[in-house]
């Protein structure tokens, strides 16, 4: 079931103090807010741009940023203003045909022999026993690209560091933590979409925690297929204010995530070709704020996931 945003007008002034002492002031004026994002506190090594990443815009949006630098961040935004005009999501008017991506059906083994790909097109009911875990992008997917009767354990600012201490709710379950959700349900597939919020951490500590998360999920759901999803890039414009989010850094993270996949019980999916421009960044025509897909973009993503079942 797709949730329809309610038409409201919100004027919000949020002041968030990061543990390092830096202060971010963000003001919003919104029309059609699908949910009320809230800034989260992160360790001092966390880039301040996570506050921008955790904001999902779906209509004309005016955003003013006033950000002090932190010792761990080389981003500096001063009185910058962004006005974004985005199309409204529609269940009947989809733009899937505007993006064409061919799915790989074969791969090559070490001896040069062709191997059949484990990925194939599936019915939407395939996702009835699926669980999607992720941050604000997964929140958007649950609202604009919902698949079957899948559960979505997602929240704004979700990361591998707070995954098991954060509570979330969905249409199929009330507010709970991930450990409880995993203990009370039996899933056939678990999609994990995390990493972009943590990209400011040292890669070694990030991936150590990511692997720990995968192991905990495996222990709780030993019979489930785990699908590790690549982090989507951001627009090139966004990297001017958050230099750690370059294509190169996101690719390094995604490559490390892919290394955890054994293609037996743990798989890897990369939807970036759906959204990238000729330079590898998020195509500005398919995103509402440089980070999140448009409503139609989420439907494109959902259709692609249905074409790449495991």
Say yes or no: 37 and 142 in one domain. no
Percent of the chain with pLDDT over 70: 63
Say yes or no: 139 and 185 in one domain. yes
Say yes or no: 249 and 288 in one domain. yes
Q: Is it the case that residue 105 has pLDDT exceeding 60?
A: no
Say yes or no: 140 and 273 in one domain. yes
- Asked whether residue 94 is assigned to any structural domain, the reply reads no
pLDDT at 111: 57
**What's the CATH code of the domain at 110?**
3.40.50.1110
- Asked whether residue 246 is assigned to any structural domain, the reply reads yes
Residue whose token pair is 């230099």: 243
Single residue among 84, 115, 144 that ends a domain in this structure: 84
- Asked whether residue 157 is assigned to any structural domain, the reply reads yes
Q: Is it the case that residue 147 has pLDDT exceeding 60?
A: yes
pLDDT bracket for residue 120 (50, 70, 90): confident
Task: Give residue-wise pLDDT tens across range 281-290.
Answer: 999 999 989 9
Single residue among 84, 112, 129 that ends a domain in this structure: 84
pLDDT at 119: 87
- Asked whether residue 293 is assigned to any structural domain, the reply reads yes
Say yes or no: 208 and 279 in one domain. yes
pLDDT bracket for residue 110 (50, 70, 90): low
Task: Give residue-wise pLDDT tens across range 257-281.
Answer: 999 999 999 999 999 999 999 999 9
Percent of the chain with pLDDT over 90: 59
Mean pLDDT, rounded, for 112-141? 89
pLDDT at 7: 35
- Asked whether residue 115 is assigned to any structural domain, the reply reads yes
Say yes or no: 128 and 33 in one domain. no
DSSP state of 230: P
- Asked whether residue 45 is assigned to any structural domain, the reply reads yes
Say yes or no: 23 and 148 in one domain. no
Residue 26's DSSP bridge partners are: 14, 65
Say yes or no: 13 and 139 in one domain. no
User: What range defines the domain where residue 179 resides?
Assistant: 104-307
pLDDT at 125: 96
pLDDT at 40: 39
- For the chain, what percentages of helix, strand and coil (3-state, to nearest 5) are there? 30, 25, 45
Task: Give residue-wise pLDDT tens across range 152-163.
Answer: 999 999 999 999
Task: Give residue-wise pLDDT tens across range 192-236.
Answer: 999 999 998 999 999 999 999 999 999 999 999 999 999 999 999
Say yes or no: 172 and 238 in one domain. yes
Inter-axis angle of helices 247-258 and 203-220, to 10 degrees? 40
pLDDT bracket for residue 62 (50, 70, 90): very low
Q: How many separate domains does the chain show?
A: 2
pLDDT at 55: 36
Say yes or no: 151 and 58 in one domain. no
pLDDT at 115: 65
Hey, what are 253's tokens? 């993270």
- Asked whether residue 3 is assigned to any structural domain, the reply reads no
- Asked whether residue 109 is assigned to any structural domain, the reply reads yes
Say yes or no: 246 and 212 in one domain. yes
Q: Is 122 exposed, middle or buried (0-12, 13-18, 19+ CB in 10 A)?
A: middle
Q: Pick the more confident residue, 112 or 126.
A: 126
Say yes or no: 167 and 33 in one domain. no
């Amino acid at each position: 079931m797709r949730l329809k945003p309610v038409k409201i007008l919100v004027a919000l002034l949020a002041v968030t103090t990061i543990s390092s002492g830096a202060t971010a002031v963000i003001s919003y004026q919104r029309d059609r807010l699908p949910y009320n994002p809230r800034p989260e506190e992160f360790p001092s090594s966390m880039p301040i741009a996570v506050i921008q990443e955790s904001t999902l815009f779906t209509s004309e949006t005016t955003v003013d940023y006033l950000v002090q630098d932190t010792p761990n961040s080389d981003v500096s935004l001063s009185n910058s203003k962004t006005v974004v005009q985005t199309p409204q999501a529609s269940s009947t008017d989809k733009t899937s045909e505007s993006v064409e991506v061919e799915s790989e059906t074969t791969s090559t083994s070490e001896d040069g022999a062709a191997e059949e790909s484990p990925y194939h097109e599936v019915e939407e009911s395939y996702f009835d026993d699926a669980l999607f875990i992720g941050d604000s992008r997964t929140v958007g997917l649950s609202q604009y690209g919902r698949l079957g009767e899948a559960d979505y354990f997602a929240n704004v600012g979700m990361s591998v560091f707070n995954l098991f201490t954060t509570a979330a709710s969905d249409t199929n379950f009330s507010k709970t933590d991930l450990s409880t959700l995993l203990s009370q349900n039996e899933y056939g597939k678990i999609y994990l979409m995390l990493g972009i919020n943590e990209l400011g951490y040292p890669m070694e500590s990030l991936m150590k925690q990511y692997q720990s998360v995968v192991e905990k999920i495996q222990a709780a759901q030993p019979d489930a297929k785990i699908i590790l999803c690549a982090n989507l890039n951001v627009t090139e414009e966004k990297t001017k204010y958050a230099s750690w989010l370059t294509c190169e850094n996101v690719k390094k993270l995604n490559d490390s995530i892919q290394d955890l996949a054994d293609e037996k019980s743990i798989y890897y999916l990369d939807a970036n070709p759906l959204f990238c421009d000729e330079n590898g960044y998020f195509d500005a025509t398919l995103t509402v704020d440089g980070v999140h897909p448009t409503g139609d973009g989420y439907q494109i993503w959902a259709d692609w996931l249905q074409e790449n079942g495991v």
